[in-house]
Structure 1
């Protein structure tokens, strides 16, 4: 019997069959009928796929796979998909939109590194159990980052509220002297509710352009935390999602505002929104959001997320006017300096 709603899975998306992803695999049974294995992909090679379903692990021979794809996480409460998704599940969704250059798993935690470009790609994502006692897990995190010449960071998701929230993990980190950095809100919206480009006109003389990869003009207008240029590691992280789009607003030949859209099953993400100072407060960021929303709708993304610094009141107001609302929050905990 199928574990998914009635109707066949019509596609076979090999690039989505990544260990750790939630997938559905339609496969042939010995009697000639078909069944669906829905759950986390535990292993994949040229011979078989191993899926952890609610009824236990299912091993599917490659020769028996009829179709397979990644699927969005299941709801954990009532509401529309962007509201009903759990905090840990949404954190894992977002991790697939901004992949690091290197990843090591510690139980369910993800240790991520990308030569220091962004906290998202250079922090331990602490969701679920690390598989070992917390003190041992934090020692492993410290080793991982110190060995790479990086400051140890742990990303701690929590309900919207004070950065001190985060349960036992936050308490352990605070007790070890790990300080809070970059309190951030995660906002979500139903993609269909977001304005489209036709609803957000540009000021006279400006136009938009988009591409599947960032060109030099786009990169030149993006300054993460004030950096003068995007480093090589950053260029790789920017194109790390299953699919992405790089949108910009031009004033003549000059790029004056940029944004990045990204895609995973069921979800679009919006990152890297930036406008040059002299063009701010002209509605360019709102138009970029609309361009990404149109792109996401055309690709079937039901929900959209973005992240914004908790203290950035202007950006929060912009996103809330566009239709976003807070889903949860996270902050980084940064380790004290290593002893000399």
Structure 2
């Protein structure tokens, strides 16, 4: 969970002992939520009020990111009118055990190249990706006409790398583009000393989860975002 936080931190961050409050200009959950893991240094009720006040000052409702492996806060938030999102699954694998095949046709960049934003989509997501302070790799597979068919990114943190923004153009799906993209990221990350990989995928995306399992990833945790309902906003 700390790896994910460091990979895509919010532009503004405040620590409540173990909790991390994050805010950014965009609307992505990771950069605009509180990573509520561990001891906030206050009583739970007081900590929730403090978090709500902090986000209210920034014109936002409080959002809590809570991992299932450390979810003692969920019932408290539920009782106060918060609702949980669909879970996102965290998967990990030793790099050498990931079976991706050859990285043919993929070009790896150190930043998002021009013209790729339309494939990644979600302008806030692009902003979040490009503002990370860690080293990143962007793999792109292009068609004969030069248009991007697929892309993906790895953010390197020491000997670990997180895989993000795996995208395939609609008319290129089912052609193995994602496999080529991931192979390029894995190969280049290995050359830079990475030994472990992790990624996040929506629980409902069964096809993607099964694919990641087939190539060597295992589910190790999951998290949800807890959002305030209209009645719970103060």
Report the TM-score range of the alignment, normalised by the length of the smaller protein: over 0.9
The superposition leaves residues 2-23 of structure 1 with CA deviations (integer Å, 9 ceiling, x where unpaired) of xxxxxxxxxxxxxxxxxxxxxx
* TM superposition shift of 1:339: 5.1
Q: What number of residue pairs does the alignment pair up?
A: 232
Tell me whether 1:123 sits opposite 2:33 in the alignment. Answer: yes
> SS state of the match for residue 121, structure 1?
helix
Tell me whether 1:171 sits opposite 2:75 in the alignment. Answer: yes
Unaligned stretches of 5+ residues in structure 2: none
Q: Tell me the residue number matched to 2:20.
A: 110
> SS state of the match for residue 221, structure 2?
strand
> SS state of the match for residue 31, structure 2?
coil
Q: Bigger shift: 115-124 or 275-284?
A: 115-124
C-alpha RMSD of matched pairs (Å): 1.9
CA contact (8 A) 2:103 2:187 kept: no
Scaled by the length of structure 2, the TM-score of the pair is 0.92
Q: Tell me the residue number matched to 2:4.
A: 94
Tell me whether 1:264 sits opposite 2:157 in the alignment. Answer: yes
Give 1:13-32 correspondences, 5 Å limit. none
Return the alpha-carbon distance in structure 1 between the equivalents of residues 162 and 183 of structure 2: 12
Name segments (4+ residues, structure 1) moved above 4 Å: none
Return the alpha-carbon distance in structure 2 between the equivalents of residues 314 and 141 of structure 1: 36
Return the alpha-carbon distance in structure 1 between the equivalents of residues 111 and 103 of structure 2: 24
CA contact (8 A) 2:13 2:23 kept: yes
Q: Tell me the residue number matched to 1:215.
A: 113
Q: Tell me the residue number matched to 1:321.
A: 214
* TM superposition shift of 1:201: 6.4
Identify which of structures 1 and 2 has the higher relative contact order when contacts are C-alpha pairs closer than 8 Å and 6+ apart. Answer: 2
> SS state of the match for residue 130, structure 1?
coil
The superposition leaves residues 241-290 of structure 1 with CA deviations (integer Å, 9 ceiling, x where unpaired) of 42001111100210111111111122100000111111111111111111
Unaligned stretches of 5+ residues in structure 1: 1-90, 160-164
Higher Rg: 1
Scaled by the length of structure 1, the TM-score of the pair is 0.65
Structure 2 vs 1, CA of residues 221 and 98 (structure 1 numbering), >3 Å: closer, same or farther?
Answer: same
Greater share of residues in helix: 2
